[in-house]
A and B are shown apart, each in its own frame.
Chain A
Amino acid sequence: MNLRVVGASLAVSLKSFYREKTAMFFTMTFPILLILVFGSIFMDDDELHFTLCVQDLDQTETSAEIATALALTETFKITRVEPAIDAVQYAKNNKANLVLVIPKGYEKSYTQYLQFDNANAFATLTYVYDPSSSSVVTKMQLLNMVFATMNQGLSASPPFIRTAQISIHTRRYRFIEFFIPGIIAMAVMTESLFGTVNVNTELRQKGIIRKLSTTPITRADWILSNILHQFILAVISTTAMLLVGYAVFDVHLEITGWLPIFMVLDVFMFVGIGMILTRIVKEAQSASAAANAVLFPMMFLSGSFFPLEMMPDFLQAFAKVLPLYYVNEGLRASMLFHDNGAALSYAAIIGAIAAIVFILGITVTRWEEGR
């Protein structure tokens, strides 16, 4: 590994990118445009509190505390639904996208769980929801978080629900805050994949790779300079996206050490996939087509734009085999939910996939033309 050589190659590729003004403009501004467009569309929806319909079938003091706790988060504005009404019918008639149903016997199970230490006792709260609504998923995720926190409190110490409830984040989550991490993951993927595939097929087709193979630069030097190039672009465009997010939409996204980690993994994974495609695809034109074939399913099916919960079950299951899904979820876990545990497990999964793909990519990249 010769760092001067890597540095010189990096400088050449960055200059080439910078001088190709149109490509640079679109690479950098497309994600920002997406954020502006989607952010404006969903802005009105999300500036308000979430309205949450709660139907308490138990009608006990304990069950009533759930609604109280939810109201305390200041995220939800609670509308009570009479127990006699059919929840599905109510949701349809009142255009409510979510009704939380607390089951009958909730207090009984709860008492069993706490006082008799019966770990098998549980209560199932039902979400009656409208899958066509864009904000319902956000609501459900928020509810999941609240309940997860409650459960944590219950199992960790003697019951004291109220404190557990108060510890819940008191701010509102907005669609744009879910959207931006997804767009960051997508933009880094697109740049890494297209950058690798386009540049390398073009250079190979033009014979530049062959020329380079008659100089002391090694395959490792070349690949490293490629990765650094993609990472620098990823940093620039992510910074731009976050600035727009903060300045225009006043998002609350936390930047921690996880952000660069996920970006690096994202770059490695898609540079690796790009190298594999470059090996398979001979011509520059079919290379973009192949890159698109990888890109589009990732973009639409891994939850970058649309929350996964809107999609049918088999597509949701499919999403979990798409590497981008883990980048999306990992970035959201770290930036939005401050959930280091989840971020770590997502990072581990992407890390493993990226390592495999990248090693495969290096192995199949042919530097010398002949055998």
Chain B
Amino acid sequence: MTEEAENAIEVENLMKCYGNLTAVSDISFTVRKGEVFALLGPNGAGKTTTVEIIETIRRPTSGKVHLLGMDVTKEKLDIVPRIGVLPQGFSSFDRITVRETLQYYSRLFSCRNADIDGLIALVNLTDKAEAQYMKLSGGLKQRLGIAIALVNDPEVVFLDEPTTGLDPRARHEVWEVLLGLKKEGKTVFLTTHYMEEAELLADTVAIISKGRIIAMDAPVQLIESNADYLVLTLQSVDEKAFGVVGEMGFAPETNNHRDITVRVAATEDIRKILNAMKDAKASFLGMDVRKPNLEQVFLKLTGEALHDGAFGGKGAK
């Protein structure tokens, strides 16, 4: 391993067992400097175990992990000052203000000239700088956590499920901060079970399921190679419509709202379906065509949903 490694993170055949339970099973990947790498998977897939091994919090059962060219099991003291961590379920001292918290962490890293105000502005907490941690909302707390992770101007930033448990608006606010980091060219290692998050932020996505990486590529590539189709949704159809679409050889799915969802290979198929509906005088109130997203990729690869009610992209946009 060279002193100034080309890759920020190199993981080879990593394995972690807790007693009889294998949390992470023989995974390998590399993260280039300056990229945003997302480890995407459902709860319990081994995301946090993996990230905590790289952060030097946990020790691997076997395998090699190098961070900035250093062995994470042997060079913790040299690694720690060069990384920033937002742990899963981040929390801080209840009665300490935003500014004081950042000052405290900057002292832990012995950063005499940390730009506390700059960090506060970066995560949009300027008007909450003097508020105690306990008075902040969930999204603001996470943003403080991100600022703390940046206090030592780290070369690699780890964000373990930065938006879990946040409402959609707070999640978007956190994403804005993360997009800012991406623009700055920081190496970011992100774990998430939100496919939108991975799709929006990551240069590379590794899909992890039951302790194994089952696919890894740029989000667009992953979708192209695993889900080459369109999803047509017809809303509030009448009874005829389901039959019409079925007769055409498609496999429509339906839900409680009398919507039907059809997978089609090309836009031409959509025209055919609409024409057939018109001919049969079948009615519907609205329609929507989407490209599949990582959710469908994940579903295809594993046969399991990322999280409850995830199928179909939830229409958050």
Residues on A facing B (Cβ under 8 Å): 2, 4-5, 7-9, 11-12, 15-16, 19-20, 206-208, 210-217, 368-371
Contact indicator A208/B91 (Cβ below 8 Å): yes
Partner of B108, one of A15, A19, A215, A370: A215
Contact sample, A vs B, 30 pairs, CB 8 Å cutoff:
A4-B107, A5-B107, A9-B104, A12-B96, A16-B96, A19-B95, A206-B91, A207-B87, A208-B91, A208-B93, A211-B91, A213-B57, A214-B56, A214-B83, A214-B85, A215-B80, A215-B108, A215-B109, A216-B77, A216-B80, A216-B108, A216-B109, A216-B110, A368-B57, A369-B52, A369-B57, A370-B53, A370-B59, A371-B58, A371-B59
Within 8 A of A (CB), among B72-90: 77, 80-81, 83, 85, 87-90
What separation, in Å, do the CA atoms of A368 and B53 have in the docked complex? 11
Which of chain B's residues have a CB closer than 8 A to the CB of A208?
A: 91-93
Chain A residues within 8 Å of B59, by CB: 370-371
Measuring CB to CB, which residues of chain B are less than 8 angstroms from any residue of chain A? 52-53, 55-59, 77, 80-81, 83, 85, 87-96, 100, 103-105, 107-110, 132, 148
Nearest B residue to A210 via CB reads B87
Set B56, B77, B85, B109: member contacting A211, Cβ < 8 A: B85
Tell me the complex Cα distance, A370–B56, Å: 10
Known: A16-B94, A208-B92, A211-B90. A4 touches B110 (CB 8 A): yes
Other than the known A208-B92, A368-B57, what 13 A-B pairs have Cβ atoms closer than 8 Å? A15-B95, A20-B95, A207-B91, A210-B57, A211-B85, A211-B87, A211-B148, A214-B56, A214-B57, A214-B87, A216-B109, A370-B57, A371-B58
CA distance A4 to B108 in the complex (A): 8
Please determine whether A370 and B58 come into contact, CB atoms closer than 8 angstroms: yes
* A12: contacting residue among B53, B85, B104, CB under 8 A: B104
Minimum distance in angstroms from A209 CB to a CB of chain B: 10
The 8 Å CB contact of A15, one of B83, B89, B100, is: B100
Residue of B nearest to A217 (CB): B108
Q: In whole angstroms, how far apart are the Cα atoms of A215 and B148 in the complex?
A: 10
Give the residues in chain A near B109, CB-CB below 8 Å. 215-216
Which residue of A has the minimal Cβ distance to B92?
A208
A12–B57 Cα distance when bound, in Å, is 23
Given A12-B96, A214-B57, A2–B110 Cβ distance below 8 Å? Answer: yes
